[in-house]
Amino acid sequence: MLAKFLAEGDVVVLTGAGISTESGIPDYRGPSGALRRHTPMTYQAFTGDPAARRRYWARSHAGWRSMARARPNAGHHAVARLQRRGLVSGLVTQNVDGLHQAGGARSVIELHGSLHRVVCLDCRDTTPREELDRRLREANPRFGALVTAVNPDGDVELPGEAVEAFVPAACRACGGGMLKPDVVFFGETVPRDRVDACFALVERARLLLVLGSSLSVMSGRRFVLRAAKLGVPVAIVNQGPTRGDDYADLTVDAPLGPTLTHTADLLAPAAGS
């Protein structure tokens, strides 16, 4: 049934954390989601509290290596195949892991930014995360942590003494500015031009396909609401119910990797198959 919905193309895809769980990155609100054990950093705490900022960078530094090692899974590859086949006309992700691009997708709008970049809040200079990782390793040569589970925003739980001993880094470009991962924290607003670009994709689409998102927050749900208002059909593939189900023309409750791979095999068979 999903393949029939996608067969005519002009599909805009919106993905959430659920598409990356098969790569070892947990989602927020699934059965074992990160929100059950972890409170994400807010923009207000990060910018206003030096202790909170130190805690974030210590935890994020510990988790970064796991995030950097994560690899795209079957779902990411299937979306890229559908895009190459010309069926997907736009791809928006709420994820900050960069796995769609690593899986071969092009022209991805990263609604919430990317953990692979770091921005200075004072001078707006942007640098690769790998560069900051090297600096933090140099500044914290004895820092080590046993990482058992990384959260969707890239950080992990650490004991208090490890956090207190951690030495953060400041911006080199302006000589001391506040560094922040180039992601939208809870309590922060997605840049308006990014939102407008996503709305424009939805308004031109024949179908909006939501993959791996509970649509619990307005950041992603607003695109489903806009599609419904315009009469653009909505299909949702997710494990568990979503807050967009009432607006959907098709809902599929199933693991994303096998479901999307089967769909791609039907619509965009690999060369030689």
At 80, which CATH number? 3.40.50.1220
Establish whether 83 is an annotated binding residue: no
pLDDT at 206 over 70: yes
Count of structural domains within the chain: 1
- 256 belongs to an annotated ligand binding site: yes
Residue tagged 């939102």 (tokens)? 195
Tokens of 250: 């098709």
User: What integer pLDDT is reported at residue 124 of this predicted model?
Assistant: 97
- Is residue 91 in some structural domain? yes
62: pLDDT strictly greater than 90: no
User: Helix, strand, or coil here: 31?
Assistant: coil
User: Could you list the residue range(s) of the whole structural domain that residue 145 is in?
Assistant: 2-267
Q: Give the span between the Cα atoms of 159 and 175, in whole angstroms.
A: 30
- 141-178 pLDDT tens trace: 888 754 555 666 666 677 677 788 899 999 999 999 99
Considering the domain boundaries, does residue 233 fall inside one?
A: yes
Catalytic residue selected from 38, 76, 100, 112: 112
Residue 140 lies in a domain: yes
- Asked, for residue 186, whether it belongs to a domain, the answer is yes
Is residue 159 included in any domain, yes or no? yes
- Asked whether residue 217 is assigned to any structural domain, the reply reads yes
Residue 272 falls inside a structural domain: no
- Any known ligand binding at 198? no
112 an active-site residue?
A: yes
101 is in an annotated binding site: no
Tell me, yes or no, whether 187 lies in a domain: yes
End-to-end C-alpha distance for the chain, whole angstroms: 22
Query: Is residue 104 within 8 Å of residue 118, measured between CB atoms?
Result: no
Task: Taking residues 211-239, report their average pLDDT.
Answer: 97
pLDDT-derived band at 48, boundaries 50, 70, 90: very high
What is the C-alpha to C-alpha distance for residues 191 and 199, in angstroms, rounded to an integer?
Answer: 13
The answer to the question of whether 177 is labelled as a binding residue is no
Q: Is 208 helix (H, G, I), strand (E, B) or coil?
A: strand
